[in-house]
Each structure stands twice: as C-alpha cells, then as structure tokens.
Amino acid sequence: MIKRKRLGQHFLHSSAIAKSIVFEAKITKDDVVFELGTGLGILTPFLCQYAKKVISIDADGELYEKAKSKFSGIINLFLEFGDGFKNTENFSIFVSNLPYSKSKEAIEWLAQTHFSHGVIMVQKEFAEKLLTKSAKDRRAISVIANHTLEIEKFLDVKKSNFSPPPNVDSVVLKIIKKKSIDRDLINVLNKIFSYRRKTIHNIFKQFGKEIIIEKRLDDLTGDEIINLAKEILSN
C-alpha cells in the first residue's frame, strides 16, 4: 500500500459515493463508457449495469489480473492492461477516479479526444485550478480545460473515503465536451505559461515571432490566450 500511495493511487471504498458518480454520469444502454483506472473495481460493476459496453483500463498488472478474476462473469465489460491515454476505441462517456499524478495528463488527453461527457474525481487543489475565476491563479491547464470542457463541481469527497487515505480531500467534477484541440496547441500553451511573467510581446520573441502587445497573460481571457497560441503556431 505504501508503494501505491507513492504512485498516487488512493482507492475509493465508499459504495455510496461510487453509486453517486455513476448516477451522475447519466449512462444509457446506447453508451460506451471508458473507465480510466480500474483500480479495485468499485465503479466498474455499477457502470456495467447501465452501459452498452464498458472499457476499463489499468496500468497496474496486479490490479488488472484481480479485476479479470473478479468480474469474469460481466459480459459487457472489456478489461485491458496498459496506458489508458493510448486508447483508440470510441466511447461516449468518460469516468475516472484519476490518480493525482495523472490529473493534468488526463485533462490534456481529454482535450484532444472526442466524447460526449463524463465524471471525474480529482484532488481538491487541482479542481480549484480548473474552476478558478482568478487570472492570477490560472494555469495553462485551466485554459486548456475551460476551452474544451464545460466543468461543474458535483461533490466534495473527504480523504477518509480512500485507502490509503491521501493528504488532501477530493472533488468530483462533471464535464461536457465542447471542442477539441491538438497536441501542438497544448504544448504551445504550456510553454506560454512558462513565460507568464513576461509581456505578450516578449513571450512571442521566445518563439521567434513579433507582436506589439504589452499586456501580460493575467490581462487576457482564456480565449484570447488560445488565439495567441494559434497565432504562434501559424506560419
């Protein structure tokens, strides 16, 4: 368990919370659900009750083998071992108790991926970054998330609901996909924010570009930052 805590793996053990997450996902018999991180499988059987098909992937071989044994009788469940961010199968709903260490990577992946909506659990501090209205507290991931997703806080989850318990509380978010962006744009946005103390004019210089804007990132809206990133990418 110590190893799993170091890897950011904290397993939800509340069936009531698991059922709330699945209910909020609004799954129908027409839906294919992608569960990133099978874990101990607390969400998996509930997802299978409602969905046409559930694809559940875990990068931990031991957890994958346990899930295969535990859920061998569920015919609409397709368990896979490996990196969920390399999934190429189509799905309509995304559900995940995200490992804290993978939250940023997951949002960037979702920003590039086509799906309808989902429910995710993340560390409270990370949720606050995504939901912040303050330009000062905003990060590249905040801009990426809010440009591509509608995000709504659904539920606070105390750390006592996990084993091993993390150091912080968690938050369940509902997400709806608005639009997709590509990896190149995401990379530029991350790089732009690494220069956030500079003026836009000086940020552009870092990319070998010229623009006459003396404002800083904190003076711009998220969409304005997206447009600047697109301009940097343009020839």
CATH number at 72 reads 3.40.50.150
Name the residue among 146, 106, 140 with its Cα closest to residue 122: 106
Q: Which whole number is the average pLDDT over 15-19? A: 96
Q: Write the CA distances from 57 to 41, 185, 202, integer angstroms.
A: 11, 27, 43
Greatest distance between any 2 Cα atoms in the chain = 63
Q: Which domain holds residue 210?
A: 184-233
Same domain (yes/no): 68, 102:
yes
Same domain (yes/no): 162, 196:
no
pLDDT, tens digit, 9 for 90 and up, residues 188-215? 999 999 999 999 999 999 999 999 999 9
Name the residue among 76, 79, 83, 58 with its Cα closest to residue 68: 79
pLDDT, tens digit, 9 for 90 and up, residues 50-100? 999 999 999 999 999 999 999 999 999 999 999 999 999 999 999 999 888
Q: How many domains, the chain?
A: 2
Reported pTM: 0.93
Strand partners, 121: 97, 172
**pLDDT over 70, % of the chain:** 96
Same domain (yes/no): 36, 127:
yes
Same domain (yes/no): 173, 225:
no
Last residue of a domain, one of 163, 181, 199: 181
- pLDDT at position 6, please? 40
